[in-house]
C-alpha cells in the first residue's frame, strides 16, 4: 500500500512554527521557509517538511 504525505493548512503550519500566517505567506512569496504545496487554490505544507525546517534551526 502506498504511503500518503500528511499535509496541513497554512494556519496549522504557522502554529507549529510559532509565527503568523502572514509571515508564512511572506516567506512563501520570497521562496523561503518550508516548501509549500498548492492544491487548486489552497496552499498546504507537508508535515515532514515542517519538521525538517524546524530541525535545521532556520525558524526566526
pLDDT tens per residue across span 27-45: 999 999 999 999 999 999 9
pLDDT at residue number 20: 97
pLDDT at residue number 49: 94
pTM: 0.83
Band of pLDDT at residue 60, cut at 50, 70 and 90: low
38 has which bridge partners? 43
What is the dihedral angle through the alpha carbons of 59, 32, 22, 8, rounded to the nearest 10 degrees? -80
Q: With contact defined as beta carbons under 8 Å apart, do 11 and 45 qualify?
A: no
Amino acid at each position: 500500500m502506498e504511503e500518503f504525505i500528511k499535509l496541513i493548512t497554512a494556519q496549522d503550519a504557522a502554529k507549529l512554527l510559532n509565527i503568523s500566517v502572514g509571515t508564512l505567506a511572506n516567506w512563501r512569496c520570497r521562496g523561503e521557509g518550508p516548501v509549500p504545496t498548492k492544491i487548486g487554490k489552497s496552499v498546504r505544507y507537508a508535515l515532514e517538511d515542517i519538521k525538517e525546517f524546524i530541525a535545521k534551526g532556520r525558524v526566526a
